[in-house]
């Protein structure tokens, strides 16, 4: 898939509760939507994603989230309409760590967890990754993050896990 096609990635999916949601490439102009969306993310969810507590997002962090190259880093956001306005409900990304391998990560706003958003994101990220020559995703997951481990287990990909101290290193074959 060409970089320009990934930058313009846009699909509609249906959530488990029947609502339709847009999955699209993140844009630099999403900064305000990202800040708003983070208001629905609990400190526990932040910790499960970053393995540390964070009080907010810095301007540099916001730039890293919304300005990606779509070659080595691909980021997708999920968007629902609320009161006629777009609302970012989650996101997923991968960052290439080797020629054919990338680290994958997700963050879903608390009110939208359990609706299948991460499962949809992994499906779309994997399709883009395969088209870009990536054959494996890897992730570090807190061993207490059972929901994310279930997402990976249900992804349909061949998975290997290595238990570390407090984390599980997951490798998924994308073929």
Task: Count Cα neighbours of 83 within 13 Å in the Cβ-side half-sphere.
Answer: 0
Indicate the pTM of the whole model: 0.93
* Tokens describing residue 50: 């970053």
Domain 3-133 grouped into CATH 3.30.70.3340: no
Q: Write down the domain spans for the chain.
A: 3-133
Segment 25-52, tens digit of pLDDT:
999 999 999 999 888 988 788 877 876 7
Q: Residue 78 to residues 12, 51, 81: CA-CA distances in angstroms?
A: 10, 23, 10
pLDDT at 4 over 90: yes
Segment 86-137, tens digit of pLDDT:
999 999 999 999 999 999 999 999 999 999 999 999 999 999 999 999 999 9
Q: DSSP string spanning 101-150? A: EEEEEEEE-GGGTTSSHHHHHHHHHHHHHHHTT--EEEEEEETT-HHHHH
């Amino acid at each position: 898939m060409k970089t320009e096609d990934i930058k313009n990635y846009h699909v509609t999916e249906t959530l488990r509760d029947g609502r339709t949601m847009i999955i699209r490439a993140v844009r630099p102009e999403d900064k305000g939507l990202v800040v708003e969306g983070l208001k629905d993310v609990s400190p526990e969810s932040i910790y499960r994603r970053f393995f540390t507590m964070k009080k907010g997002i810095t301007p540099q962090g916001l730039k890293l989230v919304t300005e990606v190259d779509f070659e080595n880093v691909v980021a997708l956001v999920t968007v629902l309409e609320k009161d006629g306005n777009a609302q970012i409900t989650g996101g997923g990304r991968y960052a290439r760590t080797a020629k054919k391998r990338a680290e994958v990560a997700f963050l879903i706003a608390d009110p939208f967890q359990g609706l299948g958003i991460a499962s949809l994101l992994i499906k779309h990220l994997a399709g883009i990754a395969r088209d870009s020559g990536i054959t494996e995703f890897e992730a570090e997951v807190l061993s207490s993050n059972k929901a994310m481990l279930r997402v990976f287990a249900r992804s349909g990909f061949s998975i290997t896990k290595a238990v570390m101290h407090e984390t599980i290193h997951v490798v998924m074959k994308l073929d």
